[in-house]
């Protein structure tokens, strides 16, 4: 997309005289800005949805307002906006004994780690910033940058709770990356490409005449891989039942105990961005991305956007459902689940998919 913009720039007369480096920065900014807006709006919507969904699950009403004066809009629609404004104008507190540089840097690293992943995510047939030939690898690699931010936050806060949260988080994210990547490989073996669009296009058509040819239905091994991928993804983004790094009842607030105001908001933005990434990745790789459930039916670019967002939205809803239903696992149980169950299963899966592909196709 950057190349496309640069090409467009070269056709405009008053821009052609500018140095190419400047033009590149301009093009990149023009693309990054809508993405940033998307991440911010995603967080606003997701927070509102989370509050309302949790409220309905808990027999409450959630944020409500009558739309007058300082109330938070009809049905509390403006609640998250009010929250965002509150966070913006809050006092910026940095603990006296904190490592200032790292403390300030940590939320940004976490956020950037989440943000640059969006570069590789196809929203529909055309909206995709860059279709790398290593698309899947890029996303896996970039999404683990966030853990550095978490460790920095935990270490620099000079707080025992933060440190515990950071250590738990590091162990958890690194561990769950393995079954996550292994279950991705099962799909990559079938597609033969790491490009995101190729993976989606490979899921076109019907299987057994009724089901869409998504990888979740492709064969029994990818069916299992879907669940391993999604659960590992939930663990990656530290959501309940895997929210040990920020376990409220144990670690107060985990790695972001000492953060407040806008810095804290960046952790929050990153969390919801990560949630969206996991949901988006799952829907792209296993649920056909922007493909319509009925091939050839409502398959335009606009509908592509619709299908993609409804699949991702549903998976985000499932994550929220988890959060408001399940208790939390313990650290050792979490690790046990990863190393004793997920890892062997995904290795068997890998073998199974290989044999399936070899003999049946």
Partner 1 sequence: MGIETLTLDRSAIQGEEMVLNIGPQHPSTHGVLRLQVVTDGEIVTKITPYIGYLHRCFEKHCENVTYEQVIPFVDRCDYIASMNNNFGYAVAMEELMGIEVSEKVHYIRVIVAELNRIASHLLAIGTFGLDVGAFTPFLYCFRDRERILDLFELLCGARLLYNYIWVGGVSHDFPIGFVEKVYEFLDYFEPKIQEYNDLLTFNKIFIERTADVGVLPADVAISYGVSGPNLRGSGVKWDLRKNEPYSIYNKFDFDIPIGTGAMGTVGGCWDRYYVRIRELEESVKITRQALDQIPREGDVHAALPKKIRPPKGHVYSRTETPRGDLGFYIISDGKPKPFRLKLRSPAFTALSCINEIARGWMIADVIAILGSLDIVLGEIDR
- CB burial of residue 75 (10 Å; 0-12, 13-18, 19+): middle
User: How far is it, in rounded angstroms, from Cα 306 to Cα 125?
Assistant: 12
Pick from 20, 29, 58, 310: which binds partner 1 (CB under 8 A)?
58
Pick from 71, 90, 204, 328: which binds partner 1 (CB under 8 A)?
328
Nearer to partner 1, 250 or 357 (CB): 250
Pick from 11, 12, 59, 89: which binds partner 1 (CB under 8 A)?
59
CB of 338 to partner 1, least distance (A): 15
Binding range to partner 1, per CB under 8 A, among 57-65, 150-158, 181-189, 294-302: 57-65
What residues from 65 to 124 belong to the interface with partner 1 (CB under 8 A)?
none
Binding range to partner 1, per CB under 8 A, among 50-58, 115-123, 283-291, 304-312: 50-58
CB of 83 to partner 1, least distance (A): 19
Binding range to partner 1, per CB under 8 A, among 8-16, 202-210, 260-268, 327-335: 327-335
What residues from 213 to 242 belong to the interface with partner 1 (CB under 8 A)?
240-241
Instruction: Give the pairing of strands 211-212 and 206-207.
Output: antiparallel
Nearer to partner 1, 26 or 57 (CB): 57
Binding range to partner 1, per CB under 8 A, among 184-192, 205-213, 322-330, 345-353: 322-330
Tokens of 273: 């961005």
Tokens of 202: 């490979």
For every residue of 170-228, DSSP letters joined together read HHHHHHHHHHHHHHHHHHHHHH----HHHHHHTT-SEETTTEE--HHHH-HHHHHHHHH
Nearer to partner 1, 168 or 311 (CB): 168
54 in contact with partner 1 (CB under 8 A) = yes
What residues from 156 to 185 belong to the interface with partner 1 (CB under 8 A)?
160, 164
Nearer to partner 1, 44 or 251 (CB): 251
Closest CA to 221 of 356, 70, 41: 356
Nearer to partner 1, 67 or 341 (CB): 341
Instruction: Please check whether residue 179 is in contact with residue 343, taking contact to mean a CB–CB distance below 8 angstroms.
Output: yes
Cα 11 from chain centroid? 36
Closest CA to 292 of 202, 205, 190: 205
CB of 95 to partner 1, least distance (A): 16
Closest CA to 40 of 87, 4, 106: 87
Closest CA to 62 of 70, 71, 54: 54
For every residue of 305-327, DSSP letters joined together read HHHHHHHHHHHHHHHHHHHTT--
325 in contact with partner 1 (CB under 8 A) = yes
CB of 180 to partner 1, least distance (A): 21
| Residues in binding contact with partner 1, number by CB under 8 A | 28
Q: Going by C-beta distance under 8 Å and a sequence separation of 6 or more, which residues neighbour residue 342?
A: 176, 179, 228, 231, 232
Pick from 1, 57, 141, 188: which binds partner 1 (CB under 8 A)?
57
CB of 332 to partner 1, least distance (A): 7
User: How far is it, in rounded angstroms, from Cα 114 to Cα 121?
Assistant: 12
User: How far is it, in rounded angstroms, from Cα 200 to Cα 319?
Assistant: 23
Interaction mask 329-348, partner 1, x per CB under 8 A: xxxxx---------------
Interface residue list for partner 1 (CB under 8 A): 54, 57-60, 160, 164, 240-241, 243-244, 247-252, 323-333
């Amino acid at each position: 997309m950057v190349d496309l913009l640069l090409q467009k720039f070269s056709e405009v007369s008053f821009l052609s005289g500018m140095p190419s480096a400047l033009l590149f920065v301009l093009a990149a900014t023009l693309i990054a800005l809508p993405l940033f807006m998307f991440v911010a709006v995603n967080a606003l919507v997701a927070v509102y949805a989370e509050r309302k969904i949790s409220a309905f699950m808990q027999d409450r009403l959630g944020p409500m307002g009558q739309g007058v004066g300082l109330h938070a809009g009809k049905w509390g629609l403006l609640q998250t906006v009010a929250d965002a404004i509150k966070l913006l104008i809050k006092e910026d507190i940095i603990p006296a004994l904190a490592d200032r540089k790292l403390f300030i840097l940590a939320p940004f690293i976490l956020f950037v780690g989440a943000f640059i992943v969006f570069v590789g995510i196809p929203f529909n047939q055309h909206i995709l910033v860059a279709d790398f030939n290593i698309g899947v690898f890029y996303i896996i690699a970039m999404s683990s940058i966030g853990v550095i931010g978490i460790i920095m936050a935990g270490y620099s806060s000079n707080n025992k709770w933060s440190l515990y949260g950071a250590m738990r988080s590091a162990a958890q994210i690194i561990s769950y990356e393995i079954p996550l990547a292994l279950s991705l490989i099962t799909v990559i073996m079938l597609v033969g490409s790491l490009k995101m669009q190729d993976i989606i296009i490979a899921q076109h058509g019907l299987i057994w005449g009724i089901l869409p040819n998504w990888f979740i239905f492709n064969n029994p091994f990818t069916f299992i891989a879907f669940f391993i991928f999604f659960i590992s993804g939930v663990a990656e983004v530290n959501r309940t039942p895997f929210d040990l790094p920020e376990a409220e009842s144990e670690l107060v607030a985990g790695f972001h105990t000492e953060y407040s105001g806008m810095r804290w908001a960046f952790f929050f933005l990153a969390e919801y961005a990560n949630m969206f990434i996991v949901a988006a990745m799952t829907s792209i790789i296993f649920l056909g991305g922007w493909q319509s459930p009925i091939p050839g039916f409502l398959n335009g670019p606009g509908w592509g956007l619709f299908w993609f967002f409804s699949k991702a939205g549903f998976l985000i809803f499932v994550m929220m459902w988890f959060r408001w239903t399940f208790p939390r696992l313990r650290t050792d149980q979490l690790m046990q689940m990863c190393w004793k169950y997920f890892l062997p299963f995904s290795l068997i899966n890998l073998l199974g998919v290989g044999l399936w592909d070899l003999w049946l196709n």
